[in-house]
Each structure stands twice: as structure tokens, then as C-alpha cells.
């Protein structure tokens, strides 16, 4: 960095400083005139330039610096050797820091006149403020960082008359530039969104089109090489890329746990005119600053909790209120436990609260093993402290909603209770307070967790206690919509299904939305006869089966009936081996991995599963994991109360255990095991 000073002989000279030995200095902010009028680095070296119009700005800055007890000052026109592209690039990447480190910044406004020699202060203000507001200085790209970076900024007319400083002119500067008052006051810039900071520069111009992007390097605290000639669009593309990389906190997340993940892309949301009461109640809770910190939506399996949670996630995201989501799913790796819960939540929150980034980075730098620590430590260092250290940048408290779906599917009971102990601690934070929507079955660990909370901490709603008439209406609307789609796709008569059939099916489904969804997938499955399949389902109306049996038995009974009598026993064995392995695996495996595990060709696996698309997600690609559509299918198959009563039952302990024990010693151990296969065997052995 080169600093200017006037010697005893009245001549300007440059002194170069490197590292931390830079003395206190003043810095000038101004608008350039014609290039030929500005004093350059070469002029200073050659001892020329005194006759140039821009020399007046140098003498002004020098005199002001002396008055403020500063020997050195910096001016961009002559402190940088612009003939060196390397030096110019280094200077532009350092410019924000140089202005930030200056003892004081003088803004010289060459198009604003003012003198108070014969005027009072108020009268004086009225003479210069109109010109001040129209000054060219507020339209230039480079002056944005010169306004924001220094802690002390003073404004002067072309006569050298002091007009005010950044503090006294705060509101006027905000009105002219649109820069947030908190930013003018020195709040860290990461506390403001990328788009808000971009908006501050939107109406500003630069002489070279690429400088529109380069002038923002310091505003976003990134570094970029300068490529003049690349054009404005490419320069901004590179800037955006650098911003995205710098804003990344690189925390591992639980794949598929966010509401908008690819795995959740085709999951259902509530249809219009359904679940209106509970959606309204939760929306009101989410907007109430005095409300409880947690809302517990509990309900038995299949009552539509996840669909409601997903619908609300989309709604809150559209409203700008969503903070983070985590959709637990048993048997889906890191979605089935809490090991990546707080890192996933933190990653989501950072997308909205950039002010959390410095604290999270500091936590990671201080403890590289933070993600291996206890959940309490992760919560405090990745969530609580970063939110607490985010400085106030808005006038009122902002509520952000975190949605935690299917908490009961978190595999460790102790973790469930720990999460419920930690999450309420974010309620009274400023400026961002969190509200947490939790959905779950009323399982014992969840109930114990809520029971241990302080009175008044949470609000709850029991989904299966909604009046049956409302549930029946919502299921009827859903069935009418889904069966209508099937009718159109399959070119069925316009009178199918009849209102009576929909009514009977709704009565059969109440109170389980999962029944309605599963049966519709079954009726509309590829190769099915929808009219015949609907009639078969309705035959179960008068049975004494449980709700889950009514949901899944029509599908499985149909598959069994399609087999030849002499083949049914073999089909049942094959079904229990294959589907049993899928439903009890810790992590979902692909057809290729299952083939190695069960010693069955992948094509045969795909063929056997082809008729189970109403209960399983079976991808076309053989290397993509096969997943349960709903955990209740697993509950149905492994229910110990059904053992001995039905031929379609899965022994939870037997199927995969035998495969895991026998395969490593067999002669079919794969030379190159497929993804997930070895990891599954390792996990199985280490938990036994």
C-alpha cells in the first residue's frame, strides 16, 4: 500500500508499506473527472501534475489530514500504479479493506457548493442539501464501498466546507442510496442478504462495464481476478460464483431431509379445501410473537401429518418465513437418526440468516470434530450461539419456522428427548426467534420429551381427534380428485366412480389418509383394471380387519390371487425374503445391491417388485435405492400380532440376518460390491 504525504519542501511523495506496519492514514473518496485532469502515480513520481485540476483534491485531503493529526493519506488516482495489471488487481481486491482501515474518509463533492460564512446552520443546510441529494457521487459504482467501509466518513463541498458525517446524515444517506441504516452504522455486511446488497448498487454506473461487478468485491468479501474485456454479464457470473462459495459453510447434511429435496419432490401436499382448520391454526401460531415456542402436531400412523408438514413448509417458504426443515424417515440412513440434524438445520438457516456464517465457521475452525460432539454441543455452537451473535439489522423481531416431521422415526429414544429439550431455547433470541413445528406419532419417547418441558412451552393438536365429519370430507375430496385423474388417464366412463363408491371408500379410509393414498395408487397401477380393483377394495368394508390390514391386504391378496395355486407358497417365500429385506434394512439398497445380498439376479428383483409400486418406490435405474412409500407398510408386515394369522408376515430378525451371515463366506462374494452394500453389512455386524 502506498501512502501520500507532503514533505517540508511542499512536494508530494509516496511511501510504500507492507503488512501490519501501515501508519494511521486518511483516505479520499471522490468522483473522477477527465483522465487528463487527474493526478496519476507517474505524475507523483515525476514531480509533475500540479497544474492539473485534480491537484486541488490532493491539497484538500492533505490539509484535512493534518488538521486531524494524520501525516499520511491515500488517493486512488495516484496511489496505485495502474500501468501494472498485477498491482491494479491487488489494489481492487484490497480496496474495501483499505477504506475500512482508514482513520477517516473525506468525501469531496465537486458538484456541491456551500459556505456558512454569513448563514446560520439551518439556512446553510437548505442551500446545499438539494445539490447534495443530486450529487454524482451517489451514482458511481466505486463510491458505494467508500460510503460503507470506513467507520468515520465526513462530507465536504467543493469549497472544502464540512457538510456533515455519516452519523449526522444517516437518514438522508439512507433515503438517497437505499443502503440499510444498520449497514451505515457498521453492522457486519453478511447480516444482509446477497440480494439486498446487490440492490444497493443497482442504479450505479461505472466507466468500464466490468467494474460494476469488480466494485462489489469488498461488499461481498470475496477475491476475483480482473478480466477486462469479459463483459458485464460474465463478470457478474464470476462474482456470483465467488459469493456462493464464500457463503458456503460446508456442513454435511442428511440427504433428502429437506422439504424441497429431490426425494421429497413428488410427495403429496394438501389439496385445496382440505385440512383447512389445522392449517389455519398452525399458520396463526407461526405468526404470533407471544405464542408457544413449539407446536406439536401428533396423530397415529397414516393420518396425514407429513402431508400437512410439507404443505406448511411450502407455504412458509413462499411467505419468506421458513427457516429450516428436517423430515425424519426410519430406515433412510441419516434421515433416520439425529447425527446430522443440527448441521442440516444450520445449513438451511444460513440461507436466510447470513449473519450466522462467521460464528459457525469459527465453531468449525475451533473444533473440527464438532459434528461428532454431543447434540447439546452441536446445538449451542451451530444454532444457538450463531443466532445470538447475529447483530440487530432490522427494526422488529423476525420469526422463522423450523419444521421437524416424523420425530418418532428418529432411531434413538434419548435423542428424541434431547432434541425436545434443546429446541425451545431459541424462542426469545433477537433479532431472529425460532418457532418449531413438530409432527409425530404419540410414541412414548416423544410424549416423555414433551412431558419434561416447562409448562406453557408448547401447544399441541391431536390430529386423529378432529371430528370424523371433517376428516371424512377431506378424504372424500382427496379420493374424488385422485380417482378423477385415474378416470381421465385410463379413458374410463364419465360416471366412474359413482358418488356412492367414493362415499363408501371414504368411510373405509377414515381416519387414515395413507389408506386413501395407497388404495388410489393400487387402483391406478400400471396393468390394473381400475373398475375391478375398486370393487375388490370395497369388498373389505364389512370385514373385521384393522385399518392397516384394510389398507394393504387388498393389494397383497390380489397379488397372491394372481399366482397359480401350486406357485403360491414359493411366491410367499420369495416375497418375504425380498420385501422383508427392504422393509427392515437400516439404509435403502438398490436392486443391484439387493441382488448381491440375496443372490438373486437384478432383473428378477425388478420383475418381482413391478406390481408393488403402490407401496414401494421402485426406480427405473437398478443402482438407485428402493424405498418404502410409508412406514406403515413396514408396521403392517412385521406386526407380531399378525404372526400365525396371515401367510403374509415378515420375521424382522430372520431374513437379512441369514443373508449377512452366509454371504461373506460364500463363493459369490462380489469382486466390486455395489454402493451401499458393504456399508450395510458393516452396520449390521457392528450392531449385533
Query: Which segment of 72-76, 225-229, 429-433, 652-656 scores lowest on mean pLDDT?
Result: 652-656
Is the distance from CB of 377 to CB of 422 less than 8 angstroms?
no
pLDDT band with cut points at 50, 70 and 90 for residue 623: confident
pLDDT of residue 391: 59
| Residue 79 · residue 4 · CB < 8 Å | yes
Q: How far apart are CA 390 and CA 55, in angstroms?
A: 44
Distance CA 254, CA 579 (A): 25
Has residue 656 got a pLDDT over 70? Answer: no
- Kindly state the average pLDDT of the residues 653-663: 53
pTM attached to this predicted model: 0.64
Let me know if 592 is exposed, middle or buried by CB neighbors in 10 A (0-12, 13-18, 19+).
buried
Predicted confidence band of residue 655 (pLDDT cuts 50, 70, 90): low
Q: What is the pLDDT of residues 156-206, one digit of tens each?
A: 999 999 999 999 999 999 999 999 998 999 887 877 888 999 999 999 999
CB 136 within 8 A of CB 31: yes
Query: Could you tell me the pLDDT band of residue 485, with boundaries at 50, 70 and 90?
Result: very high
pLDDT over 50 (residue 688): no
Whether residue 511 is preceded by a cis peptide bond, meaning omega within 30 degrees of 0, is yes
Which stretch of 118-122, 335-339, 527-531 has the lowest confidence by average pLDDT?
118-122
CA-nearest of 360, 336, 485, 479 to 416 is 336
Neighbour-count burial of 555, counting CB atoms closer than 10 A to its CB (0-12 exposed, 13-18 middle, 19+ buried): buried
455 to 262, 293, 298, 423, 623: CA distances (angstroms): 39, 11, 18, 15, 49
Peptide bond into 431 cis (omega under 30): yes
Distances (CA, A) of 277 to 283, 470, 471: 10, 9, 11
Of 427, 425, 430, 424, which Cα lies nearest the Cα of 396? 430
Report pLDDT for 226. 94
Q: Is the pLDDT of residue 2 over 80?
A: yes
405 φ, ψ to 5°?
-100, 145
Tell me what percent of the chain is helix, strand and coil, each rounded to the nearest 5.
50, 10, 40
- For residue 455, the model assigns a pLDDT of 66
CATH superfamily of domain region 262-465: P-loop containing nucleotide triphosphate hydrolases (3.40.50.300)
Cis peptide before 497 (omega within 30 of 0): yes
Instruction: Give the other-Cβ count within 10 Å of 240's Cβ.
Output: 15
In terms of pLDDT, which residue wins out, 457 or 257?
A: 257
Check residue 117 and give its pLDDT. 44
For the segment 640-649, what is each residue's pLDDT rounded down to a tens digit?
Answer: 888 877 788 8
Lowest mean pLDDT, pick from 236-245, 272-281, 597-606: 597-606
Banded model confidence at residue 662, pLDDT cuts 50, 70, 90: very low
d(CA 375, CA 126): 60
Give the integer Cα–Cα distance in Å for 6 and 50. Answer: 13
CA distances (Å), 620 to each of 5, 555, 585, 626, in order? 73, 21, 20, 10
| Mean pLDDT across 609-618 | 85
CA 2/CA 223 separation, integer angstroms: 20
Pair 532, 501: CB distance under 8 Å: no
Tell me, what's the pLDDT at 665? 47
Per-residue pLDDT, averaged over 403-411, amounts to: 96
| The total number of residues written for the chain in this structure | 688
What confidence tier does 667 reach under pLDDT thresholds 50, 70, 90?
Answer: very low
The neighbouring-strand residues paired with 404 are 326, 438
- Is a pLDDT exceeding 50 seen at residue 669? no
Task: Read off the pLDDT of residues 5-32 as tens digits, 9 standing for 90 and up.
Answer: 988 888 889 999 987 789 999 999 999 9
Res. 529: pLDDT tops 80: yes
pLDDT confidence bin for 625, thresholds 50/70/90: confident
pLDDT digits (tens, 9 = 90+) for 73-127: 999 999 999 999 999 999 999 999 999 999 999 999 999 997 644 455 555 556 7
pLDDT at 627 over 70: yes
Highest mean pLDDT among 260-269, 348-357, 445-454, 484-493: 484-493
Q: What is the mean pLDDT of residues 491-517?
A: 92
Look at residue 520 in the predicted model and tell me its pLDDT.
93
What is d(CA 347, CA 269) in angstroms, rounded to the nearest whole number? 24
Question: What cell numbers appear for 249 in the block?
Answer: 459453510
| Mean of all residue pLDDT scores within the chain | 87
Phi, psi of 508 (to 5 degrees): -70, -35
pLDDT exceeds 70 at position 38: yes
Separation of alpha carbons 12 and 648, rounded Å: 94
| Band of pLDDT at residue 283, cut at 50, 70 and 90 | very high
Q: What value does the mean pLDDT take over residues 294-302?
A: 91
Answer yes or no: are the C-beta atoms of 327 and 311 closer than 8 Å. no
- pLDDT surpassing 70 at residue 495: yes
Q: What percent of the chain has pLDDT over 90?
A: 55
Q: What is the distance between the alpha carbons of residues 395 and 427, in angstroms, rounded to a whole number?
A: 18
Ranking 261-265, 312-316, 430-434 by mean pLDDT, the lowest is 430-434
What is the residue extent of each domain of the chain? 2-187, 262-465, 468-561, 565-686
Is residue 396 pLDDT above 60, yes or no?
Answer: no
The torsion of the CA quartet 78, 81, 83, 88, rounded to 10 degrees, works out to -110
pLDDT at 422: 94
pLDDT digits (tens, 9 = 90+) for 361-376: 899 989 989 999 999 9
d(CA 151, CA 145): 12
Label residue 439 by pLDDT band (50, 70, 90).
Answer: very high
Q: How far apart are CA 109 and CA 138, in angstroms?
A: 10
- Model confidence at 570: pLDDT above 70: yes
> Of 277-286, 406-415, 504-513, 535-544, where does mean pLDDT reach its minimum?
535-544
Share above pLDDT 70 across residues of the chain, in percent, rounded to a whole number: 91
Mean pLDDT for 307-311 is: 96
Mean pLDDT throughout 545-572? 85
Amino acid at each position: 500500500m502506498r501512502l501520500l504525504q507532503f514533505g517540508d519542501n511542499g512536494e508530494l511523495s509516496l511511501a510504500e508499506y507492507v503488512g501490519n506496519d501501515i501508519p494511521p492514514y486518511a483516505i479520499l473518496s471522490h468522483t473522477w473527472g477527465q483522465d487528463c485532469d487527474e493526478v496519476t502515480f507517474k505524475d507523483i513520481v515525476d514531480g509533475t501534475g500540479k497544474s492539473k485540476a485534480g491537484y486541488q483534491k490532493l491539497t484538500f485531503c492533505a490539509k484535512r489530514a493534518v488538521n486531524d493529526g494524520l501525516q499520511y493519506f491515500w488517493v486512488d488516482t495516484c496511489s496505485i500504479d495502474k500501468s501494472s495489471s498485477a498491482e491494479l488487481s491487488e489494489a481492487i481486491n484490497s480496496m474495501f479493506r483499505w477504506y475500512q482501515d482508514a482513520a477517516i474518509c473525506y468525501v469531496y463533492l465537486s458538484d456541491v457548493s456551500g459556505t456558512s460564512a454569513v448563514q446560520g446552520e439551518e439556512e446553510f443546510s437548505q442551500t446545499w442539501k438539494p445539490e447534495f441529494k443530486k450529487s454524482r457521487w451517489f451514482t458511481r459504482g466505486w463510491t458505494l464501498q467508500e460510503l460503507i467501509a470506513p467507520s468515520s466518513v465526513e462530507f465536504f463541498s467543493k469549497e472544502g466546507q464540512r457538510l456533515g458525517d455519516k452519523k449526522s446524515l444517516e437518514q438522508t444517506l439512507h433515503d438517497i442510496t437505499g443502503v440499510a441504516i444498520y449497514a451505515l452504522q457498521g453492522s457486519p455486511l453478511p447480516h444482509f442478504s446477497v440480494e439486498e446488497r446487490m440492490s444497493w448498487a443497482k442504479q450505479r454506473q461505472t466507466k468500464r462495464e466490468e467494474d460494476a461487478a469488480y466494485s462489489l468485491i469488498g461488499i461481498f468479501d470475496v477475491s476475483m481476478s480482473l478480466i477486462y474485456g469479459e463483459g458485464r454479464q460474465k463478470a457478474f457470473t464470476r462474482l456470483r460464483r465467488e459469493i456462493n462459495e464464500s457463503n458456503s459453510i460446508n456442513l454435511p447434511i442428511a440427504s433428502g431431509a429437506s422439504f424441497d429435496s429431490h426425494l421429497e419432490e413428488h410427495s403429496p401436499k394438501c389439496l385445496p379445501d382440505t385440512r383447512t382448520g389445522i392449517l389455519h391454526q398452525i399458520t396463526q401460531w407461526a405468526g404470533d410473537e407471544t405464542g408457544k415456542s413449539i407446536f406439536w402436531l401428533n396423530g397415529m400412523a397414516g393420518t396425514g401429518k407429513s402431508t400437512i408438514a410439507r404443505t406448511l413448509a411450502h407455504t412458509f417458504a413462499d411467505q419468506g418465513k421458513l427457516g429450516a426443515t428436517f423430515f425424519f424417515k426410519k430406515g433412510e440412513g441419516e434421515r433416520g437418526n439425529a447425527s446430522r440434524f443440527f448441521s442440516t438445520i444450520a445449513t438451511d438457516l444460513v440461507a436466510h440468516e447470513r449473519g450466522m456464517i462467521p460464528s459457525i465457521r469459527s465453531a468449525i475452525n475451533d473444533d473440527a470434530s464438532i459434528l461428532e460432539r454431543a447434540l447439546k454441543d452441536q446445538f449451542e455452537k451451530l444454532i444457538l450461539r450463531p443466532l445470538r451473535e447475529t447483530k440487530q439489522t432490522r427494526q422488529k423481531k423476525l420469526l422463522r419456522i423450523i419444521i421437524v416431521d416424523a420425530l418418532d422415526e428418529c432411531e434413538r429414544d434419548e435423542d428424541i428427548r434431547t432434541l425436545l429439550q434443546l429446541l425451545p431455547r431459541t424462542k426469545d433470541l433477537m433479532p431472529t426467534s425460532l418457532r418449531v413445528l413438530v409432527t409425530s406419532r404419540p410414541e412414548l419417547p416423544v410424549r416423555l420429551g414433551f412431558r419434561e418441558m416447562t409448562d406453557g412451552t408448547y401447544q399441541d393438536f391431536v390430529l386423529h381427534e378432529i371430528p370424523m365429519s371433517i376428516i371424512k370430507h377431506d378424504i372424500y375430496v382427496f379420493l374424488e380428485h385422485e380417482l378423477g385423474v385415474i378416470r381421465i388417464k385410463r379413458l374410463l366412463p364419465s360416471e366412474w366412480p359413482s358418488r356412492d363408491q367414493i362415499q363408501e371408500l371414504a368411510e373405509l379410509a377414515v381416519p387414515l389418509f395413507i389408506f386413501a393414498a395407497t388404495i388410489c395408487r393400487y387402483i391406478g397401477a400400471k396393468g390394473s383394471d381400475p373398475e375391478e380393483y375398486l370393487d375388490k377394495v370395497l369388498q373389505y368394508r364389512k370385514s373385521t380387519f384393522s385399518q392397516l390390514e384394510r389398507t394393504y391386504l387388498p393389494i397383497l391378496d390380489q397379488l397372491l390371487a394372481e399366482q397359480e395355486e401350486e406357485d403360491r407358497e414359493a411366491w410367499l417365500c420369495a416375497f418375504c425374503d425380498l420385501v422383508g429385506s427392504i422393509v427392515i434394512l437400516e439404509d435403502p439398497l438398490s436392486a443391484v445391491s439387493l441382488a448381491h445380498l440375496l443372490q438373486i439376479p437384478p432383473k428378477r428383483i425388478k420383475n418381482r417388485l413391478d406390481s408393488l409400486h403402490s407401496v414401494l418406490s421402485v426406480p427405473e435405474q437398478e443402482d438407485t435405492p428402493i424405498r418404502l412409500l410409508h412406514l406403515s407398510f413396514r408396521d403392517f408386515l412385521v406386526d407380531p400380532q399378525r404372526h400365525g394369522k396371515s401367510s403374509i408376515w415378515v420375521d424382522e430378525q430372520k431374513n437379512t440376518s441369514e443373508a449377512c451371515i452366509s454371504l461373506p463366506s460364500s463363493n459369490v462374494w462380489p469382486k466390486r460390491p455395489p454402493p451401499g452394500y458393504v456399508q450395510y453389512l458393516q452396520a449390521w455386524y457392528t450392531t449385533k
